[in-house]
Amino acid sequence: MPIRYLIKQMILPPGVLFLLLIAAWWLRRSWPRLSALCFVLGLGGLWAMSLPIVVERSAHLLESEPALSHEQWAQLAAQADAIVVLGAGRERGDPAWDYIDQPTGVAMERMRYAAQLAKASGLPLLTSGGLHYGTPPSEAQLMADALQRDLGVSVRWKEERSRTTWENARMSAQILLPEGVKRVVVVTQAWHMQRSRWSFEQAGFTVIPAPVNFLGRDHARPFGGWLPESKAMWQSSQLLNEAVGLLGYRLFY
């Protein structure tokens, strides 16, 4: 897992862009033109990734599923059998929480939305997410605990083995399909929904997408989003990772 993570971080931006800058410095004397090209590509790529306007416009390509209206919330009971909320990592050992691991902010966005849908529809919940680098408890357990403690919603099923979106779907199917649950509301980030919906449909489910946290909208940033922001860098990385993942899933699964 650490080697795979290292390779992934190096071949995807911003890692590969930093490698281009290192190459530019290394080649500055022996291959000045190639060095200049590497420098322009590396610095230009980092600049583009740091612009909120680039995030906003790129997100439009991935966020193809519309948000559910509030009128649709109560109708979910007649359209689905369960709600599935996908894990999104963990925050490790925060002393504010007595060093007990917590769901990430991204996961909390999903959980808050799933909790509101569950309260409006009465549908049961499944949390999906395995161990983080082999360390218990699972992401599914962390989410179940937080949903009960912080949001007052109980979880009926926990899928605790998956490491990828594809495994989220396959291993959730092993739990839900034998119980006759074939129609699921899938809750995840809007930019992650295309890959999630496709994965769950391939696993045998009828999917009602419930995307949250849209990036492809006007965030009212100063100067129209043309000034660099550190947050935009992280968001661009997520979008690039998702685009590569979506293509890879279609090719290899």
| 223: in domain | no
Q: What pLDDT is recorded for position 5?
A: 72
Contact between 129 and 86 under an 8 Å Cβ cutoff? The reply is: yes
Contact between 57 and 235 under an 8 Å Cβ cutoff? The reply is: no
- pLDDT tens for 40-75 read 999 999 999 999 999 999 999 999 999 999 999 989
| 218: in domain | no
| 217: in domain | no
Same domain, 48 and 132: no
Same domain, 98 and 171: yes
Same domain, 141 and 17: no
Contact between 74 and 120 under an 8 Å Cβ cutoff? The reply is: yes
Where the chain has pLDDT below 50, the residues are: none
Same domain, 138 and 22: no
Same domain, 166 and 71: yes
| 15: in domain | yes
Greatest Cα-to-Cα distance within the chain, rounded to the nearest angstrom: 69
Same domain, 45 and 78: no
| 221: in domain | no
Q: What pLDDT is recorded for position 245?
A: 93
C-alpha to C-alpha distance for 58 and 239, rounded to whole angstroms: 8
Which tokens is 222 given?
């100063």
Contact between 66 and 194 under an 8 Å Cβ cutoff? The reply is: no
Tell me which residue range forms the domain holding 38: 2-61+228-252
Same domain, 32 and 85: no
Q: What pLDDT is recorded for position 2?
A: 66
Q: What pLDDT is recorded for position 219?
A: 78
Q: For 220-247, give the DSSP string.
A: --GGGG-S--HHHHHHHHHHHHHHHHHH
Same domain, 193 and 238: no
Q: The CATH number of the domain where 120 resides is what?
A: 3.40.50.620
What angle do the packed helices 2-11 and 15-26 form, to 10 degrees? 70
C-alpha to C-alpha distance for 217 and 215, rounded to whole angstroms: 6
| 11: in domain | yes
Same domain, 128 and 238: no
Q: What pLDDT is recorded for position 132?
A: 76
What angle do the packed helices 165-176 and 193-202 form, to 10 degrees? 40
Q: Which amino acid is at 179?
A: E
C-alpha to C-alpha distance for 253 and 251, rounded to whole angstroms: 6
| 194: in domain | yes
Q: What pLDDT is recorded for position 47?
A: 97
C-alpha to C-alpha distance for 127 and 195, rounded to whole angstroms: 17
3-state DSSP helix/strand/coil % of the chain, to nearest 5: 60, 15, 30
Same domain, 200 and 236: no
Same domain, 28 and 123: no
pTM for the model stands at 0.92
Same domain, 174 and 237: no
Judged on CB neighbours under 10 Å (0-12, 13-18, 19+), 213 is middle
| Number of domains comprising the chain | 2
| 115: in domain | yes
